[in-house]
Amino acid sequence: MLLSALSFTLHYFAIYKKKPLKYFYDPELKFFLSIMALIFVISLLINQFSNNNNGSIKDLLFHSVSIVTTTGFSTTDYSLWPSVIGFLLLIGAFIGGCSGSVGGGIKSWRILIMLNHAHKQLIKIIHPRAVVSVKIGSKVVDGSVAESVWGFFSIYVISFMLLLFALLATGLDFTSAFSAIGACLNNLGPGLGEVSANYSSVTSAGKGILAFRNDFRKTRNLHIISFIYSNVLERIAKYSNKDYLFLSEVF
187 found inside a domain = yes
- 65 alpha-carbon distance from chain centroid: 16
Q: How many domains does the chain have?
A: 1
* Alpha-carbon gap, residue 168 to 174, rounded angstroms: 7
Write down the pLDDT at residue 161.
92
Q: How far is CA 33 from CA 37, 70, 98, 99, in A?
A: 6, 14, 10, 13
Percent of the chain surpassing pLDDT 90: 9
Percentage with pLDDT > 70 across the chain: 84
What is the mean predicted confidence (pLDDT) over 34-60?
A: 86
What pLDDT is attached to residue 214?
A: 64
Greatest mean pLDDT among 2-11, 32-41, 47-56, 190-199: 32-41
Classify residue 197 by its DSSP letter.
S
Residue 115: inside a domain, yes or no? yes
Does the residue 107 lie in any domain? Answer: yes
Does 20 map to a domain?
Answer: yes
Cα pseudo-dihedral 232, 236, 239, 242, rounded to 10: -130
Q: pLDDT band at 37, cuts 50/70/90?
A: very high
Report the alpha-carbon distance of residue 48 to residue 55 in Å, rounded: 9
52: DSSP letter:
-
| Mean pLDDT, residues 136-140 | 79
In angstroms, the CA 46 to CA 221 distance is 36
Tell me whether residue 236 is in a domain: no
Residue 243's pLDDT band, with cuts at 50, 70 and 90, is very low
Q: Is residue 227 part of a domain?
A: no
Mean pLDDT of the chain: 81
Please, what is the Cα angle at 185 between 179 and 190, to 5 degrees? 45
pLDDT of residue 223: 56
pLDDT band at 228 (very low <50, low <70, confident <90, very high): low
- Beta bridge partners, 140, equal 135
Q: What is the Cβ-side half-sphere exposure of residue 132, based on CA atoms within 13 angstroms?
A: 16
101 backbone dihedrals φ, ψ, rounded to 5°? -115, 175
234 found inside a domain: no
Q: Where are the beta strands (DSSP E) in 34-152?
A: 134-136, 139-141
Q: CA-CA distance, 166 to 172, in Å (whole number)?
A: 10
The region of weakest confidence among 106-110, 179-183, 187-191, 235-239 is 235-239
Q: Which residues pair with 139 in a beta bridge?
A: 136
Residue 238 lies inside a defined structural domain of this protein: no
The range of the structural domain enclosing residue 20 comes to 3-218
pLDDT of the residue at 34: 92
